[in-house]
Structure formats: structure tokens, C-alpha cells
Structure 1
Amino acid sequence: MLFAVSMTFIDQTIVSIAAPDIVNELGLSASGMQWVVNAYLLSLAAFFALGGRLADLFGPRRVVIVGTLVFVISSVLCGCVPKGDFAQTWMIIFRATQGLGAALLFPAALAVVVAVFPVERRGRALALFFGLSGALTAIGPLLGGWLTSWTWRAIFWVNVPVAVVALVLTMMARVPNRRRDEPLDGVGAVLIAVGMGVSVLGFQQAASWGWDSAATWACIVGGLAVLVVFWRYERGRRHPLVNLAVFRDKAFTVDSLVLFFAMLAFVPVFFFASVYAQVSLSASPNQAALYLLYFFAGFAIASQWGGRMLDKQGARGPMKIGTIVGAVGFALWANKLTDLSMHDQWPYVALAGAGIGFILAPASTDAVNRAIGASYGEVTGITQTVRNYAASVGLAVLGTILTHRTTENVVSTLTSRGVSSDTANGVAKDIAEAVTGNGDARTPTGTGPAASAARDAMSSVRMDFAEANQWVFYGMAIALGIGYLIALRHPGGKGPAVTEGEPRSAPATPASPSEDGHRTSSGRASGPAARPGGTPPTSAA
């Protein structure tokens, strides 16, 4: 399963490193490149809940295989994009189908890991899962920098050998394929995909359309309205796409909210830190990747520690530690950004990573344990939807802040050097769009006094960008501070004991229909995730 999900983690960060080369070869606009990045996250957010439910209905092994194939075929097609007017559309379409493959693959893979480990060992197992998969996210920029020196297309083709290994190991491992004989809630699937997709689109495009644009708020409000309709529709369903009863458990709700605020920082930090390193520190793509490895040094150590704490005492402790350590780490990191020295920053980068490491596995695992009556695919689909929605919101809101502050700072620098206000605003907007849209930190080209002043002021612009990033990283610290206040509301404990029918050891072979029916029946009969209205268990037949 780690091989299977490694592709999805690598692709969250690898594209940002190659963005300038992709823009230059294909002639994409900065907004077009942002769409290439966003299409993947948008598709993830829209289809994660569906992926988790399909893992229950058709069995996680089948969904892992289908998701892997969709992902790797889309990767190959992204790498084969032709030059010309259709290039941007091609890239956006197949980045979106990549996201669909990841949305199918990840909840199913995580459900397998959850299912084969008993509750008392699940914390350490998922700490290892998230720790290694997180390390693979860090490899993305490093691998991207190395592959881009050959051709940026290789960042997509590298998924092919990984997918082959994943498929072979999945077949060899005799992965359990428990499934439920229930209908798929097609209307619910459409409603949540539209609601998530449209609202995330509004957040993503806010930087381009503007927060005062009617289109921005039409998407955000309209998408949230569709999600309200989805919530009301699901409450009356016999077999809903998402069993909303899981949120009646206070611990599950706290876990989900803490994950939401942690993910406002976790995924965005890869993009913002990478671009900061290349713009303000004048780092190469490879050096920017090494900068991010400090983050994962702290993340990997803390995730293992947090997993052991979860197994011994529950999730409340590691979540409280993680949110406060992360808030302090991001705040200290933000304070050091204007030093323009990677050497001076690494302790705070590692501290911020440690904070996220303490949170991620314990909160995700505790959510599954608390909702033990629900299916694993369903619950992991919910938590992953929350996580990716937060990542999209974080990228949008923090990206808008960064663009706004960068523009203001650059305008101030250029006007102080004698450039007129109108000209300075135009050049500042171009610079801000270039560095925040695709990480292009090269010296501005062109003729005229404005371009000349911009080239002369590049050293000051690098400081302007660092100061703008301080606002972003302080925002991440605030998000984790809010997460700490929420973690205080966690009821504590290790979650319910293993329910009847819950496997205490890894099954060696796929469960028989009778085992499936027994597990489903026991799960429905107890726990906070029992179906509302006393829905009878599905028969084994």
C-alpha cells in the first residue's frame, strides 16, 4: 500500500519544482500553470468521499488496482502533452484524472492498513504509514529537481515503474477484499462532488478573480449550499454515501477539525517554502528540495513518537503537543524568513515539521477507532475529504495573502527608486504573479525604465518576497493555534474497545461472505457510526 500511495504523495509537490520549465516549454500563462497544480487538488477534494465508499462496496483491493491504473495512465499522458494551443487544456484534463485516480486509491489503501492491524497496534502502524508517505512527499521536490534537469516530462513518467511495483505487490500480498452488498448512492456522489468541487474552485480562483468578484463568491457560496443540500439528503438515506452519524461522536468531530486546521498549513507549506527558497534564497530546485527535508526530519521522528503515544494513552496528548509545537515552530520560522539564510532557519523548519508529525497519524487513527462501527473505507474517505478540502482552502487563502503583500512591497521598493506609481504597480503585479504562480525567480527581462529598475531592485525584491511570506507562515501558526484550542475539547481515552467481529490480527486471506456479513452486522449494531433510524444490517446474501 505504501508503494501504491507513494505516487499520490510525490505528485503533490513534484510539479511545483518543474513549474518554470513547464511554463517555458509549453507557453502556459501563470494562471494556466496554477490550474495545472489546482486541477489535481480540486479532483482530490471532489472525489475522496466517493473513493472511500467504492472501497466498501467493491472491496479495497479492486479499488486500489483501478485507482493505480487511472493514476499511472494519466501520468503518462501528462508527460506526453503536445506543444501548441491545446497543451494547457491537455495538462489540466489529465492532472484532474490523476486526482481522480488518487482519490480512488488513497482511501482504499488506508482502509486496508486499518483493517489488517488490531486497534492496539494501529497507532504505530499508521504512524509508519504516514511517516513514510510524508517522507515520500519530501522526495517529490528533490526527485523533481533531478528529473527536471533531464526533462520535466520525466516527473510524470517516473510513476510508471512505481505503479508496476505497487500492482505486483498488491497481487502478491493477498490483500483482503471485504465488500458490502449495498447500492451506491449516485445522487449523493454527484452532490458532494459538485459541492466540494465548486466551492474549492472559488477559493482557488480568488487570487485571479479577486475576493470582490461575484464569480468567486458565487462558487464559494454556491458550493457550500450544495453541500448543505447533500447533508440534508444523506440524513434520510438508507444507504448514504457518507454516514453523517459518525459526527455525533465528539472525539471524531474534534479529530476532524484538528486535521482541518493542521492541513491548512501542511500541504501549502511545500509550495510556499519551495518558492521562497528559490526566490528569496536564490536556491536551485535541488537546494529548495533539501530545504524541505529539514521539515520532514522533524515530521518523521515526531510521527513515530505520536503513534506510540496514541497506542498507550490516546490521541488527546499528541494532538495537544503537535498543535502547540507546530504553532511555535511556524511562528519562529516566520520570524527568521527575512534572515535569508537557510542555515539559520533549519531548527525552526524541523520544529514546524515535528508539530505536524505529532498530529497527522494520531488524529487520523483516532477518527477511525472512534467510528469503528462504520466501514473503514467510508471513514477514511471522510477524513481525507476534510484534509484535502483544508489544503485547497489553505493554498487559496494564503496564496492570496502572499500575492497581495508581495505586490505592495515591490511597489514600495520601485517607487522609492523613482519609478512612477502606475508603472510600479504593473511591474509589481507581473513579478508577484510570476513568483507566486509558478515559482519563476529569474531576473525580469524587457526594455524601458520599469524593467531596468526591476532588474536593479531584484535583491530588494527578494527581501520583499521574504517579508510577504512572513504573513503566510504566521497564518499557518495561527491555524495550528486554533487547532490547539480545539484539541483541548477532545474527551481523551483510546476510543472504544474492539467490537464483536473486529479482526484482532491481520487476515491471511480475503474474508468469506459470511465473515463480511457478520462484521457488517456487528458494526451496524454498535458504536457512534451506526446507521440512523435503526437500519437493519445487510444480509450476507
Structure 2
Amino acid sequence: MVFTVAMVFVDQTIVSIAAPSITEELGLSASAMQRVVNAYLLALAAFFALGGRLADILGHRRVVVAGTLVFVASSVLCGSVPGGAAAETWLLVFRATQGLGAALVFPAALAVVVDVFPVGERGRALALFYVLAGGLTALGPLFGGWLTAWTWRAVFWINVPVALVALVLTALAHFPDSRRRERLDAPGALLVAAGLGLNVLGLQQAAAWGWGRPLTWACIGGGILVLVVFCRYELRTTEPLIRLRVFRDRAFTADTLVLFFSTLAFVPVMFFASVYAQVSLSASPDQAGLYILYFFAGFGLAAQWGGRILDKRGARPAMRLGTALGCAGFALWASKLTVLSAHDQWPYACLAGAGIGLLLSPAATDAVNRAIGASYGEVTGVTQTVRNYAAAVGMAVFGTLLTHVMTSRVTQTLVAAGTPPDRAPGLARTIAERITGHPDDRLPTGTGPAATAMRHSIQDIRLDFAEANRPVFYGMAVAMALAYLCTLLHPGTRVADEDRPRPAAAPGTGTPP
């Protein structure tokens, strides 16, 4: 299961490293690349609850295998994208189907791990699960840098051997494949996918459409309205996609909110830190991978500690300490971004990663321990839907913020370099969209005012990009501060083994341990 989930985790980091090379070869804009990254996250968020429910109904093993096959087939197609006008659409479609495969794999794999460990051992077991998966994730940037130097397409093709190993190990593992005799709530699955999709689309496109456009708010508001309809429908149906009564448990609600706000920072930081390293620090893709490893070093060291705290003292102490450390780490990291030196930033990147690592396993494990009727696939689907929705929202909001601030800073740089003030904003917008890799490789060519000004202002542009990233990283610190406030809602109660009902297996499918 670690190998299976690592494939999903690796894909979140390895593509971020390749993003500048992808945009250069395919001629995509910065916002288009963010849409490609977000398509994966959005599909994860939209279909995670469905994946968890299918795992309960069809059996964990079947769903793990099916999701892995969908994921790896989509990866091959992503790596085979043709050039030209169809490139963006091709990538968007198959990144979305990749996300669908991941949404099937993750809740089923995590439910297997949860199912075979008693409550008293789950903290350390899931901490090890996240550390190993996170460790393989941390290799993503390194492999991504090396593979990108050959061809960025290989960052998708590398999933093929990983998937083969995962499928072989799944076939060799003799774990029970329990199923629940329930129907699938198809209307609920469609409603949650539509609501999340519309909402994130509006947030993501706000930079391009403008916050004052009716279309932007129609998408955001329409998505929220559909989600309200979804909740009302779920409360009335007899076999819902998500049993919303689980949110009556105050601890579960606190765990879910902590996961939401911390993930606003956790997933987006990998994309923004990678692009920052390649633009502002003039790093190569493999050097950018090493830069992100500072974050994962702290994450890996703290994750096991968080699991031990959970088993001995419960989730609340680990979540409070983790959110506080994460808030401090992101804030200090943001303050050092304009010092264009990784040497001055690594302690704070490591501190931010330690905060996330400390809280992630305790919050997720404590939430799963409170499953209704031991429906681990379903509750994992709930928590991971929230996390991936948060990741998509974070990418959309922080991407919009980065583009806005970058455009403002470049406008000032252009005017100072002699560009007429009436032309500077439009040119700045174009440049801000194009700078997703090394600025000296992305600046306009020719003899026009923008090209001339920018070729004499490369260092200023790198500093502008660093300045534009500061509010993004401060925003991540704010997200961690909000997560800390949510820990105050947690009553500090713990779940004992005898409190957990065991799931009933369908006839002929085996008996759960």
C-alpha cells in the first residue's frame, strides 16, 4: 500500500519540478500550467468520496488495482501529449483522469492499513505509512530534476515501473477484502463533483476573468449552492455517499478543519517553492528538487514523532504543536525569500515541513478512528476530499495572488526601465504569465520596449518574483494559524479499541481481522 500511494504522492511533486520545461516546450502560459496542476488536484477532491465508498462496497483490493491501472494509463497519455493548440486540453483531460485514478487508490489503500492495525497501534503505523510515502515523495523532486534534464515526459512515464511494483506487491499481500452490501449513491457523487468543480474553477480563473466579472462569482457561488444541495440530499437519503452525521463528533470536525487549513499550505508549497527556486534562485530543475528536500527533511523527521504522541497522548497535543511550528516556519521562510540564497532559507523550510509532518498523521488517524460503523474507506474519502479540495483552492487562490502581485511589481520595473506608463501594465501582464522558468529563457525577444527593458532588468525580475512570492508564503502561514485555532475545538478525547465496531463482510468475501 505504501508503494501504491507513493505513486500518487510522487506525482504531486515531480510535475512541479517539470512545470517550467513543460510550459516552454508546449507554449503554455503560467495560468495554463496552474490549470494543468489543478486538474489533478480537483479530480482528486471531486472523486475521493466516491473512491472511498467504492472501496467499501466493491472491496479494497479491487479498487486499489482498478485505480492503479487508471492512474498509470493516464500517466502514459500525459507523457505522450502532442504539441500545438491541443496540448493544454490533452493535458487537462488526462491529468484529470490521473486524479480519478488516485482518488480510487488512496482511500482504498489507506483503509487497508487502518483495517489491519488496532487503534492503539495506528498512530505509529500510519506515521510510518506517511513517512515512507512522504520519503518516496521527497525523491520526486530529485528524480524530476534528473528526468527533466532528459525529457519532461519521463516524469509521467516513471509511474509505469512504480505501478508494476505496486500491482505485484498487492497480488502477493494476503489481506482480507471485506465488502459492504450497500448501493452506490450516484446522485450524491455527481453533486459533490459538480459543486467542487464549479467552486474551484471560479477561484482558479479569477485572475484571468477578473474578480469583478459575474462569471467568476457565478462559478464560485454556483459551486457553493450545489454543495448545499448535496448536503441536504445526503441528509435525506438512506444510503448516502457521505454519512454527514459523523460531523456531529466534535473531534472529527476539528480534525477535518485542521487538515483543510494545513493542506492549503502543504500541497501548494511544493509547486510555488519549485518555481521560485528556478526563477529567483536561478536553480536548475535538479537543484530545485534539492531545495524542496529541505521541506521534506523536516516533514520526515517530525512525522514519526507525531505518531508516537498520538498513541500516548492523543491527537490534540501533536496538532497544536505542529500548527504552531508550521505557522512560524512559513512566516520566517516568507521573510527570507527576497534574500536570494537557499543557504539562508533552509532552516525555515525545514521548520515548516516539521510542522506539517507533526500534525498530518495524528489529525488523519484520529479522524479515521471515529468512523461510523468502521467504514474506513468512507471516512478516509471524507477527510481526503477535504484535503484535496483545500489543495485545489490553495493552488487557485495563491496562484491568483502571485500573478496579481507579480504584474504590479513588473509594471514598476518596466516603467523604471523606460517603458511608457500606458503600455507597462499590459506588457507586465504578459511577462508575468510567461515567467515560470528561468527569466533569461522566458523574456520577450526582439527590439520592442518590453524585450529591451527586460534584458537589462533580469536581476530586478528575479527579485520581483521573490517579492511576489512573499504574500503567498505569508498566506500559508495564515492558513497554519487558522489550523491552530481549529485545534482549540478538539475536546482531547481518544478512541479505544473497544469503542470501534468492526465492519461486516459480505458473504463469501472473507472475515475482517
- TM-score (structure 1 length as normaliser): 0.91
| Cross-structure match for 1:315 | 315
Residue 311 of structure 1 contacts residue 494 of structure 1 at CA under 8 Å; is this kept in 2?
Answer: no
Q: State the Cα distance separating 1:405 from its structure 2 match.
A: 1.1
- Closer, same or farther in 2 for the Cα pair 1:237/1:84, shift >3 Å? same
Partner Cα distance (2:175, 2:434) in 1:
46
Query: Is residue 74–residue 98 contact of structure 2 (8 Å, CA) maintained in 1?
Result: yes
The code of the aligned residue for 1:387 comes to R
Paired residues for 1:336-351 under 5 Å: 336-351=336-351
Alignment of 1:255-270 (within 5 A): 255-270=255-270
One-letter identity of the residue aligned with 1:482: L
CA separation in 2, counterparts of 1:434 and 1:29?
A: 6
Provide the residue aligned with 1:531 in structure 2: none
1:513 is aligned to 507
CA deviation after TM superposition for structure 1 residue 31, in Å = 3.6
**1:511 to partner: Cα distance:** 6.0
Partner of 1:99: 99
Superposition deviation, residue 87 in structure 1: 2.6
Task: Pick which of 203-212 and 165-174 moved more.
Answer: 203-212
* In structure 2, distance between residues paired with 1:369 and 1:381: 13
Counterpart of 1:535 in structure 2 is none
Question: Is this contact kept in 2: 1:427–1:454, CA < 8 A?
Answer: no
> Per the alignment, do residues 335 and 148 of structure 1 end up closer, same or farther by CA in structure 2, a change over 3 Å counting?
same
Deviation of the 1:163 alpha carbon: 0.5
Find the residue that maps to 1:179 and give its secondary structure: coil
Which residue does the alignment assign to 1:141? 141
Kept in 1, the 8 Å contact 2:176–2:510? The answer is no
Q: Indicate if the aligned counterparts of 1:48 and 1:107 stay in contact, CA closer than 8 A.
A: yes
2:312 equivalent to 1:328: no
- Contact residue 370 and residue 496 of structure 1 kept, 8 A: no
Per mean C-alpha deviation after superposition, the further-off stretch among 161-170 and 421-430 is: 421-430
* Alignment partner, residue 298 of structure 1: 298
Number of the residue aligned with 1:205: 205
- Separation (CA, whole Å) in 2 of partners of 1:500 and 1:393: 34
Matches within 5 A, 1:184-223: 184-223=184-223
Letter of the 1:204 partner, please give it.
Q
Instruction: Report the CA distance shift for 1:392/1:179 in structure 2 as closer, same or farther (over 3 A).
Output: same
Runs of 5+ consecutive residues of structure 1 not aligned to the other structure: 504-509, 520-541
Alignment length, in residue pairs?
511
| Post-superposition CA distance 1:368-388 (Å, at most 9, x none) | 112353400000000000001
Q: Does 1:357 align with 2:357?
A: yes
- 1:539 aligned residue: none
Name which of structure 1's ranges 379-388 and 211-220 shifts more when overlaid on structure 2. Answer: 211-220
SS in 2 for 1:76: helix
Q: Aligned in 2, Cα 1:143/1:326: closer, same or farther, shift over 3 Å?
A: same
- 1:413-447 deviation per Cα after TM superposition (whole angstroms, max 9, x unaligned): 22123221123222321221123xx4453341322
**Map of 1:245 onto structure 2:** 245
C-alpha contact (below 8 Å) 1:203/1:392 kept by paired residues: no
Of stretches 135-144 and 461-470 in structure 1, the one that deviates more from structure 2 is 135-144
* Equivalent position SS for 2:338: helix
Look up the equivalent residue of 2:286 and give its one-letter code: N
Offset of 1:349 from its aligned partner?
0.6
Does structure 2 conserve the Cα–Cα contact (< 8 Å) formed by 1:180 and 1:516?
A: no
Q: Distance in 1 between matches of 2:292 and 2:228?
A: 38
Q: Which residue of 2 aligns with 1:150?
A: 150
Give the Cα–Cα distance (whole angstroms) in 1 for the partners of residues 261 and 71 of structure 2. Answer: 28
Q: What is the aligned partner in structure 1 of residue 165 from structure 2? A: 165
Residues 280 and 465, structure 1, Cα contact 8 Å, conserved in 2: yes
Superposition misfits of 4+ residues, deviation over 4 angstroms: 514-519
Contact 1:423 1:450 in 2 (8 A): no
Map 1:38-49; keep pairs closer than 5 Å: 38-49=38-49
Structure 1, 21-30 or 31-40: larger mean CA deviation:
21-30
* Change beyond 3 A, Cα 1:120–1:27: same
**Equivalent residues in 2 for 1:109-508, closer than 5 Å:** 109-371=109-371, 373-435=373-435, 438-443=436-441, 444-446=443-445, 447-499=447-499, 501-502=501-502
Query: Is contact 2:204-2:400 (8 Å) kept?
Result: no
Aligned twin of 2:3: 3
Q: Deviations over 1:104-132 (max 9, x none)?
A: 11110011111111100000111111122
Quick check: 2:29–2:433 contact (8 Å CA) kept in 1?
no
Q: CA deviation at 1:77?
A: 1.2
What secondary structure sits across from 1:170 in the alignment? helix
In 1: Cα distance, 2:85 partner to 2:450 partner: 30
Percent identical pairs in the alignment equals 66
Aligned equivalents of 1:192 and 1:418: distance in 2? 51
State whether residues 42 and 392 of structure 1, in contact with CA within 8 Å, keep that contact through their aligned partners in structure 2: yes
Instruction: Give the TM-score, by structure 2 length.
Output: 0.96
Deviates more, 1:454-463 or 1:97-106: 454-463
- CA 1:8–1:442 in 2, change beyond 3 Å: closer, same or farther? farther
TM-aligned CA deviation for residue 496 of structure 1: 4.2
Distance 2:494 2:104 in 1: 29
Amino acid in structure 2 at the alignment position of 1:68: T
2:150 partner SS: coil
Shift of 1:138: 2.3
Once the two structures are TM-superposed, the CA of residue 33 in structure 1 deviates from its matched residue by 2.7
CA distance in structure 2 between the aligned counterparts of 1:313 and 1:399, rounded to whole angstroms: 38
- SS of structure 2 residue aligned to 1:178: coil
**Cα offsets for 1:436-468 (capped at 9, x unmatched):** xx4453341322232111111110111111111
